Amino acid sequence: MGSRVSEVELPPLFCPLESAVHPRARQIEKRAEEWIARSGMCASEEELAWVVATHSTDFYARFVPDADDDRLLATALWVYWGFGFDDARCDRGPLSTRPAQFNALACQVQRACENDTAAGADRYIGALRDIVRLFRSLGTPAQVGRFAHAHRAWLSGVAWQVGNQALGRMPGLNDFLTMRLLSAGGEPTFAMLEIADGAEVPDRDLYRPAVRALKEMAILVAALDNDRHSLPKERARDQADQNIYTVLMHERDLTLQQAVEAANGLRDRVLLRFLRLHDRVRPTAGPELAAYLRGLRHGIRGNNEWGLRVPRYLSLGRWPDAMEDTALTWAQEPSDTRPGPLEGAPDVAWWWDDDLA
């Protein structure tokens, strides 16, 4: 059974991956909420309420169910921060259509992520500096360095999105996928797996094309699922936002219902390729890479268990409602099993290369 958004039927999601959640997620969430309230990054009670209502601890507790408490706390804090920054400075807010100003802020924010003495007037900068300081106390220099690279990649995608908003430009499918792989925030989110789990993946594994492809596919599936989770909100705001549905409607001249089905098929094809390639890479993986791959799988699944219930996407009023606790229904079969590469998306065609693994 799917769910209805105004005039649209959303089919249930195909997601044959194990479910897990950190056993002390509730207690750690409480610590995280206190930290965020003290951090000074939110300008108002309302902004704070929405940041807290992202339930970022619940989110990341599903990515790393076995992490030490302090490691889950630190990495979850970045997720709250990322959602807060995204809402206040990227998706909405005065900079969302001002690329020149956004580019300057993005570099200042990034600097705060890379060194401890970086200055910056924006209220989000100090909080980020403190979070990355926690990362430095928990992770290795390489892990924190990789997170910083991933953070810059995210901001570059947001800068692209902000530029499109400023121009009123709807990207084509190929550009959109490339942009969404960056702007979705999946790069820093998955880069934190190593900091949360404590296992440093060797360079020869992390930069291996098959592993890069698995990471990118996990990011894209989660990003498209988030487009789906936030569709009710986007529809209520009635904006011409850049998401997989508006992109497909524009590029292929589809109705929203047709775009929902096309997006679901496209997403299932990427997930199937992820599963197939994963099963080729996993058997020979060392312990650190195995932990990383488990994090990718948990992330895809956990993102849905969180995203289908979180008030961030479901609450349409001025203040967020409580987190829902509804049972979830999943599709038993993928909606589209055609092998790739995807039509009209040459930039990600390499995910289907035979020699990847």
Binding site for its own copies (CB under 8 A): 99-104, 106-108, 110-111, 115-119, 140-142, 144-145, 149, 152-153, 155-157, 159-160, 162-164, 166-167, 169, 171, 174-175, 178-179, 182, 200, 203-204, 206-209, 346-347, 349-350
In the complex, what is the shortest distance from the CB of residue 210 to its own copies, in angstroms, rounded to a whole number? Answer: 11
Tokens 């530029």, residue located: 163
Nearer to its own copies, 155 or 196 (CB): 155
Q: Taking a C-beta distance cutoff of 8 angstroms, is the pair 8, 260 a contact?
A: yes
In the complex, what is the shortest distance from the CB of residue 63 to its own copies, in angstroms, rounded to a whole number? Answer: 23
Helix (H, G, I), strand (E, B) or coil at 5: strand
Q: Taking a C-beta distance cutoff of 8 angstroms, is the pair 45, 130 a contact?
A: no
Closest by Cα among 332, 331, 351 to 341: 351
* Positive or negative torsion for Cα 283, 286, 292, 295: positive
Distance from the Cα of residue 337 to its chain's centroid: 24
In the complex, what is the shortest distance from the CB of residue 110 to its own copies, in angstroms, rounded to a whole number? Answer: 7
Nearer to its own copies, 244 or 356 (CB): 356
In the complex, what is the shortest distance from the CB of residue 82 to its own copies, in angstroms, rounded to a whole number? Answer: 17
* Positive or negative torsion for Cα 302, 205, 138, 41: negative
CA distance to 64, 65, 308, 325, per residue, from 328 (Å): 21, 20, 8, 9
Nearer to its own copies, 3 or 156 (CB): 156
Nearer to its own copies, 191 or 291 (CB): 191
| Phi, then psi, of 322 in degrees rounded to 5 | -70, 160
Nearer to its own copies, 145 or 286 (CB): 145
In the complex, what is the shortest distance from the CB of residue 347 to its own copies, in angstroms, rounded to a whole number? Answer: 5
Q: Can you read off the two tokens belonging to residue 318?
A: 């001025």
In the complex, what is the shortest distance from the CB of residue 79 to its own copies, in angstroms, rounded to a whole number? Answer: 22
Nearer to its own copies, 20 or 220 (CB): 220
